[in-house]
Structure 1
Amino acid sequence: MENYEKRARLELSNWQAKMIKRPSLFNNLTKGMQNRVNQLIPERVHQAMTTAIKNLLRATLIGSEYTTQKPVSLNLTLEEREKQVQSRLIFYRKAAAWEGAGTGAGGLLLGLADFPLLLSLKMKFLFEVAALYGYNVRDYRERLYILHLFQLAFASDKGRREIYQKIYHWQSTVQKFPPDLPLQSIDWRQLQQEYRDYIDLVKLLQLLPGIGAVVGAYGNYRLLDTLGETAINGYRLRYFNK
């Protein structure tokens, strides 16, 4: 167990360094190119993505669809918990890849359907991970933490540093959210735009005939991989800061 925790600390430290790294010139140039590509995407595609993000993420905070997970026993070691987390990550990566391949092979209409389906898979995964680390997702503060992890995974270079600081200082961050109206404290516009910008290019290529299935499978797999890394290290941060 001690060796495992040493390795986990090292991985966490490397991840933290990535979170606070300043944007490079290449990143800034890439962002500019992405903005130009986004202008080529039909407005109805943008609108469908924005609506799906807003509605599903709001539902995670106020609904009960994902809050049935019970926290796992506090007696488990970090290694035991993370073996289960890795198992669920493998499952969700495969599910996302199959879903992306299926919708990517179906052209524009099925390609658009992929967006809310993938978003739902991501949120289900995050709720399961929270429970495996022993947190009660019925607590609205834990659902807010899940939302911040989601935002961190797909944030821009500039936004990532800001969100990471909120997660790092979670105890003080969560006190700023009014328990009766937590939704008012979320910058939905920033969250929607940054997530959309992060995946727009992949989703655009997924709509193209011939390569849509391949792009959809690989793209969805990698997106779940990114989310998994963020979730694991986000909860390691709380584990080691207790």
Structure 2
Amino acid sequence: METKQQLLEALSEVNKWEMEQEDLWFFEKWGKIPFTVLDKLTPAFVHNKINLVIEELISYIHTGSKYLINTDATIRKFGNVMTLVDIQHLPLREMDGIATNIMKNRKNIATAQGATTGLGGIFTLAIDIPALLSMSLNVLQEVAICYGYNPEDEQERLFIVKCLQFASSDIVGKQTILNELQNFASRADTQDSVSQIASWREVITVYRDNYGWKKLFQIVPIAGMLFGAYLNRKTIEDISEAGHMLYKKRRILERLQEIEHVSEK
């Protein structure tokens, strides 16, 4: 297990990453198109698919729905480790190693998925939208397991959706979510948290708008292959990185609390 100094150094790296999130990539800087304009440019059936993302996220928080992954399959990636409790006591470097491999694999899958659906342009875009949402939730659940957290818990699924929101939010939204996650472990009432997400339709609209704007580049057949491959890879890269850092931070803070608790005895 890491020493207190090693944990503080790891926490400093995560805090540095959080500071760097103030720099938006060019789609966010360039693409703040009002949704009324986006609505006119995007075909109705694609627009409806994007709107369904909101309902899918709320459904995922409540029940896990069709997006729950096989927890045991991810645990087996650790070799002789048998349970989530076992993972919780592994060194951070081992957690990081498995998480990094999973993230790399998911990015490659997303690239292939985006290229395949981008080939057909508008005709296959409606397939790509739910597929990318599924990949996003899957990689976040896998990262959660890598740090010893159980995505089958409703409270954990809320954290996963917050990671998803963080990756797609603007600077103000990112800071708001970081502030909320500081006290995440102390939340006493899961239902209140779920109700909060359900009332965040205006916040989740940011995810919908940005997502729809990026996907417009994928509408043109053939050329959509390049945009689809790049955008899907970039999306999964940002989402998995957010989950990686935020879950790692939780594990570090919990270990620091354990050290403080032992030292007080």
> CA offsets per residue over residues 173-224 of structure 1, 9 Å max, x none?
x33532xx75322134134311112222221111112310011001111111
Closer/same/farther in 2, CA of residues 190 and 54 from structure 1, 3 Å limit: same
Alignment partners' CA distance in 2, 1:166 and 1:210: 42
For residue 7 of structure 1, report the CA deviation from its aligned partner.
6.1
Compare CA radii of gyration and give the structure with the larger one. 2
Q: Does 1:98 find its partner at 2:112?
A: yes
Structure 1 match to 2:131: 117
Q: Do the aligned partners of 1:37 and 1:201 also contact (CA within 8 Å) in 2?
A: no
Structure 1 match to 2:244: 232
Percent identical: 27
Of the structure 1 ranges 87-96 and 156-165, higher mean CA displacement relative to structure 2 is found in 156-165
Closer/same/farther in 2, CA of residues 18 and 168 from structure 1, 3 Å limit: farther
Of 169, 174, 183 in structure 1, the residue corresponding to residue 183 of structure 2 is 169
Q: Do the aligned partners of 2:64 and 2:157 also contact (CA within 8 Å) in 1?
A: no
Alignment partners' CA distance in 2, 1:61 and 1:146: 12
Of the structure 1 ranges 191-200 and 214-223, higher mean CA displacement relative to structure 2 is found in 191-200
Q: Do the aligned partners of 1:104 and 1:216 also contact (CA within 8 Å) in 2?
A: yes
Q: When the two structures are aligned, how many residues end up with a matched partner? A: 236
Of the structure 1 ranges 80-89 and 208-217, higher mean CA displacement relative to structure 2 is found in 208-217
Q: Do the aligned partners of 1:56 and 1:120 also contact (CA within 8 Å) in 2?
A: no
For residue 140 of structure 1, report the CA deviation from its aligned partner.
1.3
For residue 111 of structure 1, report the CA deviation from its aligned partner.
1.2
Alignment partners' CA distance in 1, 2:148 and 2:226: 36
Of the structure 1 ranges 1-10 and 64-73, higher mean CA displacement relative to structure 2 is found in 1-10
1:28-39 equivalences under 5 Å are 30=30, 32-33=32-33, 35=35, 38-39=38-39
Q: Which amino acid aligns with 1:42?
A: P
Q: Which amino acid aligns with 2:234?
A: R
Structure 1 match to 2:262: none
User: Structure 2: which 5+ runs fail to align?
Assistant: 73-83, 255-265
Q: Does 1:46 find its partner at 2:57?
A: no
For residue 145 of structure 1, report the CA deviation from its aligned partner.
1.0
Q: Does 1:69 find its partner at 2:71?
A: yes
Q: Which amino acid aligns with 1:177?
A: T
For residue 45 of structure 1, report the CA deviation from its aligned partner.
2.2
